[in-house]
Amino acid sequence: MTLIKSISGIRGTIGGKTGENLTPLDSVKFAAAYGAFLRQQQPDKRLKVVIGRDARISGEMIQHLVVSTLVGMGIDVVDLGLSTTPTVEIAVPLEKADGGIILTASHNPKQWNALKLLNAKGEFLNAAEGETILSLADKEDFSFANVDELGHVTVNDSYFDIHIDEVLDLSLVDRETIARAGFRVVVDGVNSTGGIAIPKLLKELGVQVIELYCEPNGHFPHNPEPLKEHLKDICDLVVKEKADLGIVVDPDVDRLAFISEDGEMFGEEYTLVACADYVLGKTPGNTVSNLSSTRALRDITEKHGGTYTAAAVGEVNVVAQMKATGAIIGGEGNGGIIYPESHYGRDALAGTALFLMLLAERQIKVSELRKSYPSYFMSKKKIELTPGIDVDAILKKMEGNYEKEETNNIDGLKVDFENSWVHMRKSNTEPIIRVYTEAPSQKEADVLAERIMKEIRTLSA
């Protein structure tokens, strides 16, 4: 059983001992810390917070605890009930709220849940803000409202429709174009809120939908991380139903993966590549992804005359870099699409619409679209080191070893070679170095990873 406190929120497993798991007491403490943080920012204002949750079994319990805690602090709550991460992100500014909380553990299994924290823009808190909340939680010095100043709860279950309307109103989305294509699509909603939102969006776009695991009951039928090894059922069903493609999302609907008509994975890394290809073809500009994402985005961006920039790993870092460079689309290689015309957050609904527009306009199969992009393969490894090893010193030595290559040390160390790259990052909690590589073939990626790992072990000996 686990409780993880980080600058992006608190997550853990349900049940067990207080302080070691995400128990009711821990949920209340961190909700109170968030409320105290908002009060510090605006001590004289009547505060408002938007709250939504994915369909996890523990979600309703955690939501009651969090809502009641904020009400007890004199904070008004807009309760969206079942929702998605991007839906809550959109709702915060529309409600003129001071923040938002999404109750979801993203792609973690069903025994996990989490409090993800947003600012008044509907964007994730930065590192300094996260540290402040952790400090407030440790102190447990909270002030609650008297009976006449308790917060009020407003239930609003219209935000799925509001979110879908917002996607349909995007300048590069035309429902008639998609409807004319006559798409037939299988959707795997992993029995969470994607099973509500994605089919609703597709039907509004005139797409024929075949639902798989779209009952939002929180009983995930497979590991909820949308990776190839977890998706045999939808891959088989796409072929059986002679569908044009399959769409897979994680429980909170900020990650997006596609299945080609032949039952093969389009590749999570290429979700952003395809959406960027469509957007850049209409509105040339810049892109951003994190250091561990595929080089194919850089290739596509430069093909369209734009500039690609890499950010440190983490959505908040990608968003900051997008704002700094004026990027018109960005995201992460895990299938996260950030499209600023909508909002600065990963959004599987926006990504789905952009992808379908690309397919509809080019009138090609998904497998053919995938073959049109530069083909890269990744290897993701980790090295466990002896406790006490100075990981920063090792990475510094590695940087010196590759001083003749293009390097980036904003987040660990990334070394770019002519046809490949390696990204080395240390864990914040364990004596581990993660080693990600990418190359034109799986064998080359694996060989590069093994070579780098051998060099690291030699330096740490």
With b for 16 or more beta-carbon neighbours within 10 A and e for fewer, the 256-266 pattern comes to bbbbbbebebb
Q: Mean of the pLDDT values across residues 228-246?
A: 96
Lowest mean pLDDT among 197-211, 221-235, 254-268: 221-235
Domain boundary, last residue among 156, 184, 199: 156
| The pLDDT value given to residue 390 | 86
319-346: average pLDDT: 97
Q: What is the pLDDT, as a whole number, of residue 427? A: 74
Residue 57 confidence class, pLDDT cut points 50, 70, 90: very high
Flag whether pLDDT at 354 surpasses 60: yes
Say if residue 285 is in the same domain as residue 311.
yes
Give the pLDDT score at 226.
85
The string of pLDDT tens digits covering residues 378-409 is 998 999 877 778 888 999 999 999 999 999 99
Q: In this predicted structure, what is the pLDDT of residue 386?
A: 79
Q: Do residues 177 and 363 make contact, with C-beta atoms less than 8 angstroms apart? A: no
- My answer on whether 210 and 340 are in the same domain is yes
- pLDDT value of position 76: 98
Tell me how far apart the alpha carbons of residues 433 and 436 are, in angstroms, rounded to a whole number.
10
Distance separating alpha carbons of residues 73 and 202, to the nearest angstrom = 40
| Tens-place pLDDT, residues 40-56 | 999 999 999 999 999 99
Out of 117, 136, 156, a domain closes at 156
How far is Cα 106 from Cα 254, in angstroms, rounded to an integer?
8
pLDDT digits (tens, 9 = 90+) for 114-131: 999 999 999 999 989 999
Percent of the chain at pLDDT > 70 equals 98
User: Of 106, 135, 156, which residue constitutes the final position of a domain?
Assistant: 156
> Domain check: are 213 and 252 in the same one?
yes
Which CATH number is 420's domain given?
Answer: 3.30.310.50
Tally of structural domains, the chain? 3
Q: Shortest CA distance to 139 belongs to which of 66, 5, 47, 30? A: 30
Which residues contact residue 452 at a Cβ distance below 8 angstroms, ignoring those fewer than 6 apart? 398, 422, 424, 435, 437
- The residue-averaged pLDDT of 414-435 equals 87
Judged by average pLDDT, the poorest of 79-83, 293-297, 350-354, 379-383 is 379-383
Residue 265 and residue 403 in one domain: no
What does the longest C-alpha to C-alpha distance in the chain come to? 67
**In a shared domain, residues 45 and 186:** no
Is the pLDDT reported for residue 224 higher than 70? Answer: yes
Annotated active-site residue 106? The verdict is yes
Instruction: Check whether 264 has a pLDDT greater than 80.
Output: yes
Query: How far from each other are the two terminal CA atoms of the chain, in whole angstroms?
Result: 33
**In this predicted structure, what is the pLDDT of residue 429?**
59
Statement: residue 293 has pLDDT above 90: yes
CATH of the domain at 91: 3.40.120.10
Q: Which domain holds residue 33?
A: 3-156
Q: Are 84 and 112 in contact (CB under 8 A)?
A: no
Q: What is the 3-state secondary structure (H, E, C) of the chain?
A: CCEEEECCEEEEEECCCECCEECHHHHHHHHHHHHHHHHHHCCCCCCEEEEEECCCCCHHHHHHHHHHHHHHCCCEEEEEEECCHHHHHHHHHHCCCCEEEEECCCCCCCCEEEEEEECCCCCECCHHHHHHHHHHHHHCCCCCCCHHHCCCEEECCCHHHHHHHHHHCCCCCCHHHHHHHCCEEEEECCCCCHHHHHHHHHHHCCCEEEEECCCCCCCCCCCCCCCHHHCHHHHHHHHHCCCCEEEEECCCCCCEEEECCCCCECCHHHHHHHHHHHHHHHCCCCEEEECCCCCHHHHHHHHCCCCEEEECCCHHHHHHHHHHHCCCEEEECCCEEECCCCCCCECHHHHHHHHHHHHHHHCCCHHHHHHCCCCCEEEEEEEECCCCCCHHHHHHHHHHHCCCCEEECCCCEEEECCCCEEEEEECCCCCEEEEEEEECCHHHHHHHHHHHHHHHHHHHC
Please indicate, yes or no, whether residues 23 and 100 belong to a single structural domain of this protein: yes
Q: Give residue 430's pLDDT band: very low, low, confident or very high (50, 70, 90).
A: low
Same domain, 289 and 365: yes
Residue 174, C-beta contacts closer than 8 angstroms, at least 6 positions apart = 357
Confidence of residue 88 (pLDDT cuts 50, 70, 90): very high
Does 344 lie in the same domain as 202? yes
Would you state the pLDDT for residue 4?
A: 79
Q: Are residues 343 and 386 in the same domain?
A: no
pLDDT at 363 over 60: yes
From residue 256, give the alpha-carbon distance in Å to each of 211, 334, 336. 16, 8, 6
- The active-site residue, picked from 106, 192, 342, 379, is 106
Tell me the mean pLDDT in the region 146-154.
Answer: 98
What pLDDT band is residue 428 in, cutting at 50, 70 and 90?
low
Say whether both 415 and 455 belong to one domain.
yes
Do 30 and 96 fall within a single domain? Answer: yes
In this structure, are residues 48 and 97 in contact, taking their beta carbons and an 8 Å threshold?
A: yes
Residue 171 CB coordination number (10 Å): 8
pLDDT attached to residue 110: 94
Share of the chain above pLDDT 90, in %: 90
What is the average per-residue pLDDT within 321-325? 98
Query: Which of 120, 132, 153, 119 is closest to 36 using CA atoms?
Result: 132
Q: Same domain for 193 and 249? A: yes
pLDDT of 301: 98
The pLDDT assigned to 440 comes to 96
So what's the pLDDT on residue 205? Answer: 98
